[in-house]
């Protein structure tokens, strides 16, 4: 069994916390997010027979990404960039956060998660944009915190990438 630290990064209201609330074990309440700016959760996934304990640092999302405490990223093996499919700006925030994260943890794996797949008809983020990112080698997944669709996959793919890196 190995442990990995991962972070959730994303703008305000992209559904990071909703994304994990159904899938993780947490002993802390959400108020930590607004006070300390981070909340610790834990999730176990099994990748190719290896059990991986993901210690998830859910970092409080703000649209002004400069206010996000990037020091929380230190030591992370990977991070999920979360954006809200219905708001284009959240993708920009995510990309900006990615740039900041790269400065702190250049070797970390990451996965871009576009949330709210259940509201596909309202999406502002088009597949064209995402294709560009995929072509850059990014892992991009569409999830729905509401239905649970592909949430597990998001964590699993990140974990796999971290182990293989």
Label residue 23 exposed, middle or buried (CB < 10 Å: 0-12, 13-18, 19+). middle
Contact region with another protein (CB under 8 A), list: 9-17, 36-44, 117-125, 149-157: 36-44
Contact yes or no for 57/7 (Cβ under 8 A):
yes
If binding is defined by CB under 8 A, does position 148 make contact with another protein? no
Torsion-angle region of 150 (φ positive above 0: left; ψ -120 to 50: alpha; else: beta)? left
Task: Name the strand (E) or helix (H) holding 164.
Answer: helix 151-164
d(CA 61, CA 64): 9
Residue 2 binds to another protein (criterion: CB under 8 A): yes
Question: Looking at beta carbons only, is 53 or 63 nearer to another protein?
Answer: 53
Measured from the CB atom, the residue of 76 and 91 that comes closer to another protein is 76
Interface residue with another protein among 10, 47, 61, 77 (CB under 8 A) is 77
Site residues (vs another protein, CB under 8 A)? 1-5, 25-28, 32, 36-38, 40-42, 52-53, 55, 57, 69, 71-72, 74-77
């Amino acid at each position: 069994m190995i442990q990995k630290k991962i972070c959730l990064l994303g703008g305000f209201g992209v559904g990071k916390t909703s994304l994990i609330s159904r899938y993780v074990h947490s002993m802390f309440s959400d108020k930590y997010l607004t006070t300390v700016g981070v909340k610790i959760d834990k999730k176990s996934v099994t990748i190719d027979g290896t059990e991986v304990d993901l210690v998830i640092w859910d970092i409080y999302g703000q649209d002004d990404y400069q206010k996000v405490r990037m020091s929380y990223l230190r030591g992370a093996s990977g991070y999920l960039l979360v954006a809200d499919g219905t708001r284009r700006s959240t993708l920009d925030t995510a990309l900006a956060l990615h740039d900041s994260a790269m400065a702190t943890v250049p070797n970390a794996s990451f996965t871009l998660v576009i949330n709210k797949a259940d509201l596909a008809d309202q999406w502002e983020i088009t597949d064209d944009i995402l294709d560009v990112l995929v072509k850059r080698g990014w892992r991009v997944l569409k999830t729905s915190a509401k239905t649970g669709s592909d949430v597990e996959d998001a964590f699993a793919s990140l974990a796999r990438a971290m182990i293989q890196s």
